[in-house]
Structure 1
């Protein structure tokens, strides 16, 4: 019986039957072998020499703007596998040469990345900025291919950066993932590209740009819902430098995980949607950053993971908030358009339902994200506040020196999650709230409470939600580094990676 079927049965009052069936399922969970921490391809990869030559300002490189598009580009896919190719579509403010350098994000003795190759000089020239499509506001470029990258079989799965450097000294970026679905790693880290695109305002030029939140008014001011797009495309650069909003959360989590030697491979959220990921192949799946926009297929994959005994860890907050559809782009490539109508009438909801908040789907909030996560988004903070520890004697806080009521300064920030007793809860699950952190909501609703949550079902499968944006930054980002958060996250993964025998 799947988790989704179990939820339906609970709705019919069949709790006893469900409990028996879940126990039967627990007895047939796949064996989880001993973790390969410290003895795996990622640990070996991080022994290589790193480099920070990709950063802006190196060799006198200058930033770009969306108004001028000195050098910007986008990739033909969010992820690519060994032996496949990835196309880059590049535009420049003048006809000139550029190079494309490729770096892998990791630890590398603190350097943070490794240089893998640099292209021969590539011819680039100005390309047209498309106008938003009437009705949906979709902005999709149709730039020709400027350079193609063939993915070598020896490259280790990870988060990668393509670095565009123009002949006249400007520099920008675009990220992508190299996946390795054929290798059964202990951990899979999922990078939230659907959310990256939802926030992408390119071109941020005072006239044209739109994302799923905002757009420009006729007089060039920043508008809101009336001006926003209903559809956004991956066929365009990320705004300004090319780093997606909140990308630093994912880089921080990845660098920390690789510094700790975990056996890890990577995927994009599009890979979950397209069915390229078998969640049962991993002991744990980490959602490393701000992962707000989910299709039904993505959520099905996460729920299938729990059914298969695969642990889930969400390191940020406001997860699985908006339901989206992923549609093909103009060239027919699948998964190139993220559609989310939100409050506007959805003209083509399909079997999955309209593209609204997940908690608005189904009767009595049946599809609310808390039914999987244990907590859900409950507000935006005016300013950071401390995390207030609960259950200080729990194994999660072991070795941190923290006790009930202790504070971790400024850890709760930007957006927060909390437990809502009026919303669905994960079935057959024991929940532990590991924090109780009051904050003032920027919407003016007064005092709200953040909760970090850990759910464990009768199979022993864990679902962890940090419930704040600053958690992944505290793992590695120099401005937010916190050893207590590092230790607690290490405790979590150690528990998740404990071997489990069949039966």
Structure 2
């Protein structure tokens, strides 16, 4: 059963049950908490940027592949890696932290014994593929390691290479910003093994003959206990890497967590000025939404830097290692937040629609990158960019996009400002309009939604780089730091 929270005058209900303490965070604590310097990872020998290392394995040959025992680990605690090789041979693991320049190597294993491991048979009902490979190596993270996004790079003696991503947290440290890495969405898109017959994700599986099928072949449950396809690179994690590199290169005080930490209650919004949802954050449990609601009610700002966020309701199962989402199929065991389908289709009216919180919500997939068309150029977000109403930023609307739904009012009594109005073409929907949104509650809490996948890519060097978006994003984060 869905539960609802009655709010006082001037605020609109979101329809999510929230603990009583969610509304009682003292705002003075947000203004006055100290800003400790981040611990420094000791200098290491020069090493290649792990993001640029060639990853040459395939899911058909499976030369070397591995996964971590958790999506994140608190600094000072251990994390296990489960690794398989195609034929018995030694391999090594190097550990790298992503920073403003690329990566820095911070640790390594000795030579380890590699053994072949079986690919599990998918569950015949749910399509779940869940490996039970033994631990190959345990990394005992030093307590002084800096919170961040880390890569474990696996390399055989033959020179085959794969990787996996994990996050190091600093649970006892306050920071201005907490970046939440969307591992639940990574799992939803993971098609491992892409071998022509076995792999499944929450979108598709394989047809007889090896062609990729559709929803009739998809899984309903996906596990973190398996490697990521594509040599270990999660789909769209370049958005999160771009955000992390920009935050760090601009000197912001930032720590990191994952969507699993959000679900498990390891994120206390009151310890941060703002929560940063860096990439494509599509799959949300009810517990994750409760933390987001607690953040906004307690005065912690929220920045969604991409698009199509808070879209599917999911259940986290098997101690947080399995993501369950039946979508349009019948959910055989709905939880207390309802069946695992679109949030916007849960509850009466639009009470659970993501636009109630974000100001905008997913409305399509541009068939090609389109220009972002600026609105409200006098708003403080656009200050110093030189932009005027109607100016365009080339190719910024791409991947997926969000827009205003007039029948979905913004909650929290917030005032929404629409900062772009960008026409694009969706192959199924025809002409659609993208909107960037910024909402402010009566208490001054900011909720920003960029409304396009290309926004974080514009923050770093690459094909979508744009100094005006970089300036606007600095304006956003600096306002969050200054806001009372």
Q: Scaled by the length of structure 1, what TM-score is found?
A: 0.90
Contact 2:77 2:143 in 1 (8 A): no
CA distance 1:229–1:17, shift in 2 (3 Å): closer
- Within 5 A, what are the aligned runs for 1:71-90? 71-90=64-83
CA distance 1:471–1:226, shift in 2 (3 Å): same
Aligned position for 2:48: 52
- Mark the runs of 5 or more structure 2 residues left unpaired by the alignment: 14-22
Contact 1:74 1:235 in 2 (8 A): yes
Q: CA deviation at 1:258?
A: 0.2
Separation in 1, partners of 2:286, 2:386: 41
Of 84, 87, 92 in structure 2, the residue corresponding to residue 91 of structure 1 is 84
Aligned position for 1:480: 464
Aligned position for 1:29: 27
Of 260, 272, 275 in structure 1, the residue corresponding to residue 262 of structure 2 is 272
Q: CA deviation at 1:210?
A: 0.2
Separation in 2, partners of 1:414, 1:248: 12
Separation in 2, partners of 1:276, 1:487: 32
Aligned position for 1:147: 137
Separation in 1, partners of 2:249, 2:374: 26
Q: CA deviation at 1:47?
A: 8.8
Contact 1:366 1:424 in 2 (8 A): no
Aligned position for 1:391: 376
Q: CA deviation at 1:49?
A: 7.8
Separation in 1, partners of 2:345, 2:11: 28
Separation in 2, partners of 1:473, 1:49: 29
Residues 1:252 and 2:242 aligned together: yes
Aligned position for 1:402: 387
- Mark the runs of 5 or more structure 1 residues left unpaired by the alignment: 19-24, 329-333
Aligned position for 1:411: 396
CA distance 1:51–1:408, shift in 2 (3 Å): farther
Aligned position for 2:168: 178
**In the TM superposition, what whole-angstrom CA distance separates every residue of 1:236-284 from its partner, at most 9, and x where no partner exists?**
0000210100011101100010000000000000000000111111110
Separation in 1, partners of 2:195, 2:225: 17
Separation in 2, partners of 1:88, 1:17: 45
CA distance 1:390–1:446, shift in 2 (3 Å): same
Separation in 1, partners of 2:396, 2:248: 22
**SS of aligned partner of 2:464:** coil
Contact 2:419 2:437 in 1 (8 A): yes
Q: CA deviation at 1:117?
A: 1.2
The count of corresponding residues between Structure 1 and Structure 2 is 473
Contact 1:159 1:177 in 2 (8 A): yes
Query: Post-superposition, which runs of at least 4 consecutive aligned residues in structure 1 deviate over 6 A?
Result: 34-37, 46-50
Residues 1:452 and 2:436 aligned together: yes
- Within 5 A, what are the aligned runs for 1:276-315? 276-315=266-305
CA distance 1:343–1:499, shift in 2 (3 Å): closer
Q: CA deviation at 1:427?
A: 3.0
Contact 2:44 2:105 in 1 (8 A): no
Residues 1:102 and 2:95 aligned together: yes
Aligned position for 1:464: 448
Residues 1:434 and 2:419 aligned together: yes
Contact 1:34 1:497 in 2 (8 A): no
Separation in 1, partners of 2:164, 2:380: 39
Aligned position for 1:137: 127
Of 21, 37, 42 in structure 2, the residue corresponding to residue 40 of structure 1 is 37
Q: CA deviation at 1:173?
A: 0.6
Q: CA RMSD in A?
A: 2.1
Aligned position for 1:225: 215
Q: CA deviation at 1:50?
A: 6.7
**SS of aligned partner of 2:296:** helix
Q: CA deviation at 1:492?
A: 0.2
